[in-house]
Structure 1
């Protein structure tokens, strides 16, 4: 780092004039050099560093924008005619014309040239040129001067001068260019980066600390061009739009944009990464209340930290308007890559995991075989009245040979290398791109080559490979920290879920589900300050269906306090008449949870010991991997449940209508009363802690893994009738009916199951 009084690193001195000034008087030109890039590499990822270099080389003035592209315009030689002039030439000509018109001296042949002396005309032209030259100078501060005099402007604060007077021309297009650093945990590190940018670029770039809403990640430093190097000062003569009186659009509208996201056959992390690429922002700027299943059509609200973006910018960016598509195409065709957004609005509030009451589902089971429809009615009535075991679904653990909770166990053992190896190891049955990427890493440890092959939708693996490419493969903990926080936490939460499922199975196996027993846990007194809680894979803990202490602590810490602790009661014989089975909770292991009484407290201990853990293993130096634990009700009861049967023949024809279908004006599905096969369509609302697949498991009594259901679908008799209904092929919707399927003998959920947020009030 250059010391005080020394030339800044990366600065080059200009050649001496014939009369060389003193050394201290030489102007310093700040340049982007390899030394600058090397020094900043400690604070920025490779892409961010490239973006910073690009912004610096573009210069302080925003690049020109035109629908035809300024760079493609022809520069006319003197005497040539046409429209292909450079901006500077056009500006000069237009400026001169405006001034001449103001003085009554236009050069149109319809005006008598003899009315004005030639000297006056030349003087007017020269004055107009000087005005244009002055206008093209960068004066982004609000308290700017009027080009041609006027009253003295008012006092302007930093970037806020309250200019008053005759006023000049309208404001310029705002500079939206900015680059964010990697998260920096320590204040000292952030101070060093502020200082480095100031010295390396001579104060021409300014820095600002951007607080992260995700605890433990550290704040980021935003770097952008400094358009008001020494503060606002006075507004200047005739300055329009000065300082303290103006409020930015961000202050007026709020710093977030909320919109509804519909995704088809994409998981939530993948969809958010896609949105981030289209909007050229960090995925951390996109917030959701809970993740949704990959296999299906799902709708949910998303909050975007917008900075200077407008709702129009966001809509056009996501829909590639002006790039690959026109506005009309974006409105009348399906969203690209199975992603569509709508209902955009400004907001002052963000979104956190758990900020929803639940999820609404429309699920269609195909090729249902029963002796009579009474069988269906009995099974659905039982689900409605008795509920289902509130297991964490297969989505929580993944379907590959390397389950998610195995990676979580490695993290809990602080075996960072093993956790990375598990994430990057080969998985039979993956698509060829992923297979090539994993093989390149396994055989040659070639992170750069593996990253070329790895699809960007494979988020965790791509983050690891990017870190290994840029920093080497020796620091596995730092590599794991490059994975988005919600995804990182999913691994250790999956292990907690794995333990919980096993313990609840044992509880139901030994004592049934008719009622509570001595030693069971229940909530004693509801919290005075109930809170929403995590909703990973639509399974976060809601205030009425479980309390996630980890998230409660995190939210309270962000506000400077500690969460209200929910009282847990261990039931005695006298308590049993006062509670039902729907009140019973079981703990997810952690360093601050209460264990059930009797034999189940010992069972928890034995289960963890078999994996080499104790309750103390959940308290770790890495705070975000330190789990206090949480509680979850062992049974869940659906709400607003209804069902209907229908007939069909072609499995490719939809039996449910999505929101996008309605937006595009597509007809509702036509039900064939004479169809060869029977389908069951279920509508229900579940709390954010519950899995629809587990509800269907209770109805159909079959395995819920996607591999089993896919095989069941392919073996179904209705597959022989694919395409017989003259279905219009839609390339954006893969005809994978049954991938989410749960069968009653041979019944499968089709593609249309729709899950959407039920907003928290």
Structure 2
């Protein structure tokens, strides 16, 4: 490769095979990447999946309009029946919004709510709930207060989150004066003391209706209290609702004439309108956001640059786009993207303008939500490794044997899951992790100077950066900076407005999207992880040892990440309870735990030497919060195959006879990696050289 952003040569390998030399990315077509979505489909095959999904949705609407909650009595598994029913209702909830029972064949009457509860809880628990509710209601009616906080009732364990969602809503709809909450997978109820306060200000009937209204959260709905002639009393109601629900609803008093021609005042409550990215309230006709999904094919272009160009063509912000991951620049890549506020028709209008920038969009279709980073199962790679040769100059070495040995070694032993060079940017003088370290230390002007440090070369971007580093003339730098460098220009415009002092630099960083700001801190944390993983393998090898962290996968949907991380004991080391693929290392952050062996000590020393011994991994001024995460040390490629390719050296043609033409050896690799794994890192382990 021409670009070598960060040197990985000092990092350890997991195996000791010899490896070989070769080059990749001679051209973008040598490195093809296609996302694999959560359904296991390549993005290049998404069209068929979309078609099948639409057909399935249509069939579901025709056949499943009335989800049933009645339990079979023929010995079938009751929990399975509940889970199935809950899933149906939750899917309907997703279509209808947060008003759980709107549009379903689940009547709104109190008796029917009891039927739902009886289905979920069974008669015994339902009886206990009813008795508990009666005792709470009696206590409220007698104006008793003070002891109800400690009173609670368990409704049992509900491992399925869909069943829990239905149970929570059903209890609150049937008993508005109760609160529901979950500990692990166990559901509890307790008195709602806010209900008691409101019932003393108004009436139990109105309190019932108000809390049912609050729980339903139906957009554009309103609730109006009975007319009230006492201003002080109305003020108390206003204050109570504002204090308890002010972020969710707003109140206003309206005057109206009664039948006796006297002015009466009513308090109306309505849900607050959602705010857009600018902080301004959206108009009612804009509330239903449009989301359009498409496949983005790009060549020799960074993902963020591609998004910035699409945003400028469509007249929206880069933050209106969402995607599952950042893809290589020097490659041909396929990835799923979702854009907000843009219709399918509008996207098709710009298709012809994209080819000149090395982009193409297709599989355009409407969707109902944006994508999240990491919302993919992996990436499929097709890579040509050219000019393959042995590490030594000994021509007697069997090259094919070397390659075969390397491929099988990585298949069987995997590779150390380092973050790849592209994680750190392509700069030679200043890489992204250095900027991230300055941001963590809240050295804002230093971070700005690092950001604008010029690289080698005399291209327009470097000319602008050199001018800035020499003069700090912001206006002049803006005029020199190419229009396609969106991040740089946004930051410069903010600096021009607010200055190069600490506050101005903070405003400068805030002018670029959050995803771009956090990228630099993640780059630094990734560098620390790489060095920690190298130290771990060099110190202990591939044996699981006491003090290592392992990740439990059991009930992963029901446990937080911190609950799934476990420290290996000495007995477990001796009994070989865990395998190396289960061992993880933490990315630095404020919510992680470190290994208790020598690797944990290494982390402390590394952070201290960088001046981060007291770092909280929160940069409040930049709205950056870094909780940290855990990353497996060892990963394996899936469906790894390779195919030798013989290339003829064109320079030797015409000079020698056909049978003496120089031949260059190449081979094609095809494999799939889990999300957040790097193909260049897998190849590094295979070839035993930095790419």
TM-score using structure 1 length: 0.50
Deviation at 1:445, TM superposition (A): 2.5
Task: Give the Cα separation in 2 of the matches to 1:649 and 1:624.
Answer: 56
2:690 is matched with which residue?
A: 703
The 8 Å contact of residues 275 and 282 in structure 2, kept in 1 or not, is answered as no
Name the structure 1 match of 2:335: 300
Query: For residue 555 of structure 1, what is the aligned residue in structure 2?
Result: none
Q: Are 1:618 and 1:627, in contact at CA under 8 Å, matched by a contact in 2?
A: yes
Query: Aligned partners of 2:649, 2:371: CA distance in 1, in Å?
Result: 41
1:437 match: secondary structure: helix
CA 1:651 to 1:355, structure 2 compared with 1: closer, same or farther past 3 Å? farther
1:417 aligns with 2:445: yes
Counterpart-to-counterpart distance in 2, 1:223 and 1:569:
46
Indicate how the Cα distance of structure 1 residues 223 and 446 shifts in structure 2: closer, same or farther if over 3 A, else same: farther
> 1:110-131: per-residue Cα shift (whole Å, max 9, x none)?
xxxxxxxxxxxxxxxxxxxxxx
The structural deviation recorded for 1:589 is: 1.3
Question: What is residue 315 of structure 1 aligned with on the other side?
Answer: 348
1:593 is displaced (CA, Å) by 1.0
Measure how far apart 1:482 and its partner are: 1.2
Q: What residue is the counterpart of 1:571 in the other structure?
A: 568
- Say whether 1:432 aligns with 2:419: no
1:210 and 1:407, CA in 2 relative to 1: closer, same or farther beyond 3 A? farther
Q: Is the Cα–Cα contact under 8 Å of residues 556 and 564 in structure 2 kept in the other structure?
A: no
Residues of 2 paired with 1:285 and 1:651: CA distance?
48
Cα distance, 1:403–1:638 mapped onto 2, change above 3 Å: same
Change (3 A) 1:209 1:645: farther
Alignment-derived partner of residue 316 in structure 2:
281
Q: Do residues 476 (structure 1) and 500 (structure 2) align?
A: no
Q: Secondary structure at the match of 1:402?
A: coil
Aligned mates of 1:452, 1:526 — CA distance in 2: 57
Q: Give SS of 2:350's match.
A: helix
CA distance in 2 between counterparts of 1:361 and 1:613 reads 37
Deviation at 1:449, TM superposition (A): 2.4
How does 1:259-274 map onto structure 2 within 5 Å? 259-274=294-309
Does the 8 A contact of 2:291 with 2:343 survive in 1? Answer: no
Q: How far did 1:421 drift?
A: 1.1
For normalisation by structure 2, the TM-score amounts to: 0.55
Q: Deviations over 1:161-184 (max 9, x none)?
A: xxxxxxxxxxxxxxxxxxxxxxxx
Report the alpha carbon displacement of residue 268 of structure 1 after superposing the two structures with TM: 0.7
Matches within 5 A, 1:399-548: 399-400=426-427, 401-429=429-457, 431-474=458-501, 475-513=504-542, 515-524=543-552, 526=554, 528-529=556-557
Aligned-partner Cα distance in 2 for 1:399–1:442: 19
Out of 286, 291, 297, which is 1:256 matched to? 291
Match status 1:686 vs 2:673: yes
- Counting only pairs closer than 5 Å after superposition, residues 42-441 of structure 1 correspond to structure 2 as 211=275, 219-221=278-280, 255-306=290-341, 309-320=342-353, 335-370=355-390, 371-400=398-427, 401-429=429-457, 431-441=458-468
1:209-253 CA deviation, whole Å, 9 max, x = no partner?
Answer: 7646xxxxx6533788xxxxxx9xxxxxxxxxxxxxxxx8996xx
> What's the secondary structure of 2:620's corresponding residue?
coil
8 Å CA contact 2:440–2:615 kept in 1: the answer is: no
For structure 1, the residue ranges without an aligned partner over 5 or more in a row are 1-158, 160-186, 192-207, 213-217, 225-230, 232-247, 321-329, 532-562, 653-673, 705-761
Q: Which residue of 2 aligns with 1:643?
A: 642
SS in 2 for 1:425: coil
Deviation at 1:616, TM superposition (A): 3.7
- How far off its partner does 1:443 sit? 3.0
Tell me how far apart the structure 2 counterparts of residues 336 and 634 of structure 1 sit (CA, whole Å).
41
Q: Write the distance in 2 (CA, Å) between the matches of 1:702 and 1:313.
A: 47
User: How much does 1:389 deviate?
Assistant: 0.5
After superposition, the C-alpha distances for 1:469-527 in whole angstroms (9 at most, x for unaligned) are: 344333111110112221111111111111111111111111112x2111111013545
How far is the alpha carbon of 1:618 from its aligned partner?
1.4
Deviation at 1:317, TM superposition (A): 2.2
Q: Determine the C-alpha separation between the residues in 1 that align with 2:558 and 2:404.
A: 36
Q: How far apart are the structure 1 equivalents of 2:561 and 2:645?
A: 49
Residue in 1 aligned with 2:657?
Answer: none
Check whether the contact 2:414–2:635 (CA below 8 A) recurs between aligned residues.
yes
For 1:426 and 1:693, the matched residues in 2 are separated by 26
Relative to structure 1, the CA distance from residue 457 to residue 386 in structure 2 (aligned partners, 3 Å threshold; closer, same or farther) is farther
How many residues align? The count is 406
Q: Secondary structure at the match of 2:641?
A: strand
Correspondence for 1:541: none
Query: Are the equivalent residues in 2 in contact too, given 1:209–1:219 (CA < 8 A)?
Result: no
What corresponds to 1:37 in structure 2? Answer: none
Contact conserved, 1:392 with 1:691, CA < 8 A, in 2? yes
Instruction: Report the equivalent of 1:112.
Output: none
Q: Distance in 1 between matches of 2:472 and 2:278?
A: 32
The 1:441–1:516 alpha-carbon spacing in structure 2 relative to 1, beyond 3 Å, is same
Identify if the C-alpha distance between structure 1 residues 691 and 457 changes in structure 2 by more than 3 Å, giving closer, same or farther.
farther
Contact 2:562–2:592, Cα closer than 8 Å, also in 1: no
State the Cα RMSD in Å: 3.1
CA contact (8 A) 1:408 1:495 kept: yes
Quote the residue 2:630 is aligned against. 631
Shift of 1:564: 6.1
Cα drift, residue 318 of structure 1? 4.2
Task: Give the deviation of 1:649 after TM superposition.
Answer: 3.0
Does the 8 Å contact 1:529/1:564 carry over to 2? no
SS in 2 for 1:355: coil
Q: Is the 8 A contact 1:211 1:219 kept in 2?
A: yes
Is the 2:320–2:340 contact (alpha carbons within 8 Å) kept by the matching residues of 1?
Answer: yes
SS in 1 for 2:528: helix
In 2, the alpha carbon distance for the partners of 1:507 and 1:256 equals 44
* Higher RCO, Cα 8 Å, sep 6+: 2
Measured in 1, the distance between the counterparts of 2:337 and 2:373 equals 11
Decide which of 676, 688, 691 is 2:663's aligned counterpart. 676
Query: How many Å separate the matches in 1 of 2:317 and 2:405?
Result: 50
**Contact 1:387-1:636 within 8 A present in 2 as well:** yes
